[in-house]
Structures are given as structure tokens and as C-alpha cells.
Amino acid sequence: MVGLSIREKHFIEGGIAQDLCTDGQKRWDYCPLSIETGVIPQASGSARVRMGGTNVIIASVKAELGKPNHLHPDKGKGRGGEELSAELSLPLQRCLLGGKSGARAGINLSSLIVAEGKICWDLYIDSLVVSSDRNLLDALSAAIKVSLFFFHTFEGYFML
């Protein structure tokens, strides 16, 4: 992750002291939020989120059957964020998949197992950011979580 310069730190501290964000809003103001689901029919789950000036973030979840990792035969797998900057990709992966042990994960990877040690659902999460002014990580995580909430396979819906 890239560090902040002294001037950037002073700028942020000044904004906190004056209760202002860079766009002129107060720190505790919130942006209008709109969510649409099912925007990509070919995906197993998809959502579009608009949060303030962060316009149209589309997250889609695709699933296919695969073989679980031999170290965790009781858990499915998920990937995503390869094309996002490292600053966004790593926090999103930690939020969704948890640490190496899977602790504190936003997704219950055990719910992706079809037959332990043999077959699991592999999730592929793709996101597209059309424009952003702030709250990008919040909007991305909301779009992914909503997509996962409406995630379904041919057998029906999963509540992850």
C-alpha cells in the first residue's frame, strides 16, 4: 500500500479538525444510495450500486463446480479483484474471504461445498467501476455483498 506524504497527512488532519471532507460534506453526512439486482442475466448474482458520485458499480458473481483445495477440503473457493488496484483488491479479499484460516470471512466458504473433499462451488467475482468520487471501497463491498445475497445456482438460491 502506498504511504501518505506529510502534506497529505496534514490535509487529512485539517479536514478532520474542520469536520469537512474533500467534497465539502461533513464527515458524518452520507451519500444517496441506490441498488439494483439481477442486472447481468448470465451471472449467478449481480448488482449495480450508485453511492453519491460513485456511479454505477457492477459486481457479478459467476459460479462453477470445481475441486476444493487439499488443505481445506471442507471449504469452497472464491476469487476476484485481479484487475482492481492492489489498494482495493487486498482489503476486499480480506473482507470477503477472511484471513488464511478463513476466520472473519464475509462468505461462509463451507456453504460452497457440494461433496467434502471432492466438489465445491468456485466463485468468480468481477466488478466494473464506471466513475468514482469517494466511498469506492464501501460501494464495491456493497455491490459484491448484494450480488452474493442473490447468488443462485440451478438448484436455487444460496443465502451466503
Q: Where are the domains of the chain?
A: 1-29, 31-158
Q: How many separate helices (H) and strands (E) can be counted in the chain?
A: 3, 8
E strands of the chain, at which residues? 33-37, 45-51, 54-66, 77-80, 113-115, 119-131, 152-153, 156-157
Q: Which is more confident, 123 or 6?
A: 6
Our measurement of the distance from residue 38's CA atom to the centroid of its chain's CA atoms, rounded to an integer in Å, reads 16
Q: In the chain, pLDDT over 90 holds for what percent of residues?
A: 5
Q: What architecture does CATH give domain 31-158?
A: 2-Layer Sandwich (3.30)
pTM strictly above 0.85: no
Spatial CA neighbour of 81 closest among 36, 38, 143: 143
Provide the pLDDT for residue 160: 47
Q: What are the residues whose beta carbons fall under 8 Å from the beta carbon of 135, sequence distance 6 or more?
A: 31, 51, 52, 54
